[in-house]
Structure 1
Amino acid sequence: MTSPPAATVPGEPLRRPGFRRYWSASTLGFIGLAMTTVAVDALIINDLEATESQVGMIRAVQFLPYLLFGLIAGALLDRRHKLPVLVWTTWGTAAALAVIPVLWWLDQLSLVAVGAALFCAGSLGVFTAAAQQSFLPDLVVRGELVPANARLGQSMTTAQTVGPSAGGAAVSVLGAPFGIMIGSLAHVVSAVMLMRVKVSEFSPRRDETQRPSIVRDIRAGVHFTYRHRTLTPLALSTHLWFVANSAGVTVFALYALRHLELSVFLYGTTLALAGISGVFGAVLAPRIGRRLGEGNAVILARLLCAPAWLLVVLAPVHPLWGVAMLGLAQMVHGFSMGLDDPNEMGFRQAVTPRELLGRVGATMRSINRTMAVVGSLLGGLAAGALGYDAALWGVIAIFLVSAVGLALSPHRGARAT
């Protein structure tokens, strides 16, 4: 076991062996997830011919576990070491994803089976996410939280560049089930790499005079999240952002694959452009956060979302200009996410007491993913009932409310240190 990094001077987080190994495993997992996303979209829309509402329901199923288990996961994870949880949930996710191609090759696959497999993967992902966000402060010092989140953000956005293109190519040549199997294998390798991480984890002190209580632990996380002067408006804005983003992503898949009739490869390529610009956003995130403050950096990022989705609405049904507009929209949106995430995560991890990190993160994730369920369902239903354009105008309006509300709150000008 390595000694905790708390007493060392802040610097480049990748110089720390523990973080470097964790970063490598996470990067591979991000690539596998990005490939799986494209393959699942192609499978349910093209191969299984799901309706608009069914596409929304399949997307919602992936986020439903956060509503059911998110708060419990955060409370449980604050009581134990995180690394073993990361290892075993990554193994489990690999197995859950592998079920889909196996059932396809056995000619037994249905939308219900896909939804069940994704629900299982999402349930494991609840505990993975709870462990990830409270594990990072064990690997780096406080002053490295934003740079460390930026490194992970750069990996994620790079994965969003490589993964969709590779996934689209694999699906085009070998079929959607094979693309999902590659994503499963990526999680297998990621789990093996996580097993090599060495770290001395924070052990929370428990009040021996009180019996352990899940309800009391959950309440403490909820109260801190929604009674904090600057964290509360950030949480509320993020909840709205998830409604808009999940609705937009649902409509975007239908719009590109069904309305514009893009090939899976071109669809993956447009998504990959978000990854390219997202890398630049993540690279600039620490610098912009230091210059403007993390609070203003998040506000700036969220203000970029509305014009990004406006470009999607304005995209013509044209084989060249339509794809170009969608690609530009993804680039603007990707940059905003690359800028947003490291500053939001670094700020939250800095202002939250160590013993509450898991619960505060789980509280926000649970509500965020619940909003994603709502957004996915609304996006699919609105696209089917009102048309793609009307649904996308609704997405733009919600993004604007999220950004402007945060800009008018005490979060404006907030800094992590």
Structure 2
Amino acid sequence: MTEPSSSRQGLLRQNPAFVRFWVASTVSDFGTYITTVALSVLILVVLNGTAVDQGLVNAARWAPYLMFGLVAGIWVDRTRKRTVLVAGDLGRGLVLAVLCITAIVGVLSIPALLVLMFLFGILALMSDAAYQSFLPQLVPRPLLVKANARLQQSDTVAQTSGGAIAGGLVALVSAPFALLIDAVSYFFSGAVLLSLRSPIPEQPAPRGGTVSSRIAEGLRWVYGHEYLAPMAWTTHLWFIGSAMMGTVVPVLLLKDLGIGALGLGLVTGCAGIGAVIGTLISTGLGQRLGTGWTIIAAALIQPFAVGLIALAPLLDTGPASPGSPAEWPPQLWGAFALAASGQLLFGFALGTQGPLEMGYRQAVTPDRLLARMSATMRSINRGMIVVGAPLGGAIAASAGTGTALWIASGIMLVSSVSLLCSRVRHANIDEQLLTDDAARE
């Protein structure tokens, strides 16, 4: 018998280490979504960059995952996870502070921004690898889905309000000062994690074996597993479409529609609202429909959501109209509503899928392989951003943002249909936990 949902929820609230981790993660999430909006405004408005520049900066941010991701998993396996998390938070705060100062004094350029975001990406890579393998040190495996749901709910609440707050902040104090707020959030998160004590003793992996053999072991685990393998391959493809979308949507909203930083923040916030709803029902849907079928259903929704955003420019037949929402003409409001609806639906699907997929990965993976599993998935997924982000920018610059978004939608559709045709539809996290418990006994 598994524990009732209400009992698991209570156990999480009674876990002080998880609560501290949750607080640190939530504060950092708020800052991250402020940066998402502020960085796009900085590139496209302050530095007068193009869609290609937006794609290159996005690629620079995620390039370390492609270059060092597999090695990072091994290093994190052998290192205290809390130490890595603290160093990653403090380092990222410092990078953003430097970015803010250089922008204010007028010496920031696109090449300099590429270098700073590459350094930011290295620190994020190490933190991400430690983040997913540190959570099982805080909560027992039967609580992982609930814990991931709580973390993702906080993330989506931050996305909901963070985007709108960011738009207002950028309009009020400028993009560089908005980035400084994210730097402060990372410093706060690092300080909280520094005071955290794990209830489950952390045991770094033994140092035996060569780097290549340990990388190979992680790759064999992910791509040899009957359920993790199709999850991995289809997610890699999905990330190409998602990276194209992430590059093109700010260009569409800021350049094509001209709705400004506040409009961009409001649309981003709609994705957060949808994600909050998705995470609230994720666990219940997983129990009712099964883990695999719920993941697949959520994946099938996403390409249609991107299609709604791609239709938005068709409703705005007038010239770009920068200004406050009170000054927008009716056709611009229609385009805004369509883009916001697409983001709402997209966020809902991600919020539904995320906790179940992450919880399943963690539940089926042995402790000694957790960091390598996470690093393998994340490094290749983020490596696909290095492909998709510049591709989206190039297509948007040559054929228009609408075309780029339709291609992104098509890539996501191929990914979700491939997932539907795989064995993932039979995956069930509750059955896996019972099997693992029986094996331990």
**TM tier, shorter chain?**
over 0.9
Query: Do 1:94 and 1:184's aligned partners in 2 also have CA atoms closer than 8 Å?
Result: yes
- Distance in 2, matches of 1:66 and 1:104, equals 26
- Distance in 1, matches of 2:29 and 2:239, equals 19
- Distance in 2, matches of 1:252 and 1:29, equals 23
Deviations for 1:54-111, whole angstroms, at most 9, x for unmatched residues? Answer: 1111111111010111111101111122011101110000001111111122221111
Match of 1:266, SS state, is helix
Work out whether 1:327 is the aligned partner of 2:340. yes
- Distance in 2, matches of 1:57 and 1:319, equals 29
1:201 partner amino acid: P
The residue number in structure 2 matching 1:409 is 422
One of 240, 244, 250 as aligned partner of 1:243: 240
Match of 2:425, SS state, is coil
The residue number in structure 2 matching 1:203 is 203
Deviations for 1:292-324, whole angstroms, at most 9, x for unmatched residues? Answer: 222111111111101101111221212210110
Q: CA deviation at 1:124?
A: 0.2
Query: Do 1:10 and 1:141's aligned partners in 2 also have CA atoms closer than 8 Å?
Result: no
Query: Do 1:76 and 1:214's aligned partners in 2 also have CA atoms closer than 8 Å?
Result: no
Q: CA deviation at 1:205?
A: 5.6
Q: CA deviation at 1:167?
A: 1.0
The residue number in structure 1 matching 2:188 is 189
1:125 partner amino acid: A
Work out whether 1:277 is the aligned partner of 2:274. yes
- Distance in 2, matches of 1:64 and 1:20, equals 32
The residue number in structure 2 matching 1:386 is 399
Match of 1:411, SS state, is helix
- Distance in 2, matches of 1:205 and 1:55, equals 39
- Distance in 1, matches of 2:410 and 2:67, equals 28
The residue number in structure 1 matching 2:224 is 227
1:328 partner amino acid: S
Query: Do 1:81 and 1:201's aligned partners in 2 also have CA atoms closer than 8 Å?
Result: no
1:168 partner amino acid: G
2:370 partner amino acid: L
- TM score, norm. by length of structure 1: 0.95
- Distance in 1, matches of 2:378 and 2:83, equals 21
**Relative to structure 1, is the Cα distance of residues 11 and 101 closer, same or farther in structure 2, using a 3 angstrom cutoff?**
closer
Deviations for 1:26-48, whole angstroms, at most 9, x for unmatched residues? Answer: 00011111001100000000010
Match of 1:50, SS state, is coil
Q: How many residues matched? A: 406
Deviations for 1:360-415, whole angstroms, at most 9, x for unmatched residues? Answer: 11001010001111110110011011111211111111111111100110111201
The residue number in structure 1 matching 2:111 is 112
After the TM superposition, list the runs of 4 or more consecutive aligned residues in structure 1 that deviate by more than 6 angstroms.
Answer: none
The residue number in structure 2 matching 1:5 is none
Work out whether 1:74 is the aligned partner of 2:87. no
Q: CA deviation at 1:14?
A: 2.8
Identity %: 38
- Distance in 2, matches of 1:205 and 1:188, equals 28
Deviations for 1:229-284, whole angstroms, at most 9, x for unmatched residues? Answer: 11100001111111111101111111111001111101100100111111111111
- Distance in 2, matches of 1:111 and 1:388, equals 21
- Distance in 2, matches of 1:22 and 1:325, equals 36
The residue number in structure 2 matching 1:165 is 164
Work out whether 1:49 is the aligned partner of 2:62. no
- Distance in 2, matches of 1:372 and 1:216, equals 27
Query: Do 1:292 and 1:413's aligned partners in 2 also have CA atoms closer than 8 Å?
Result: no
Query: Do 2:248 and 2:393's aligned partners in 1 also have CA atoms closer than 8 Å?
Result: yes
1:278 partner amino acid: A
Work out whether 1:344 is the aligned partner of 2:362. no
Deviations for 1:138-159, whole angstroms, at most 9, x for unmatched residues? Answer: 1111111111000011011011
**Relative to structure 1, is the Cα distance of residues 193 and 204 closer, same or farther in structure 2, using a 3 angstrom cutoff?**
closer
Query: Do 2:78 and 2:205's aligned partners in 1 also have CA atoms closer than 8 Å?
Result: no
Q: CA deviation at 1:114?
A: 1.3
2:73 partner amino acid: G
One of 307, 310, 314 as aligned partner of 1:313: 310
The residue number in structure 2 matching 1:4 is none
The residue number in structure 1 matching 2:84 is 85
**Relative to structure 1, is the Cα distance of residues 206 and 326 closer, same or farther in structure 2, using a 3 angstrom cutoff?**
same
Query: Do 2:38 and 2:179's aligned partners in 1 also have CA atoms closer than 8 Å?
Result: yes
Q: CA deviation at 1:10?
A: 4.4
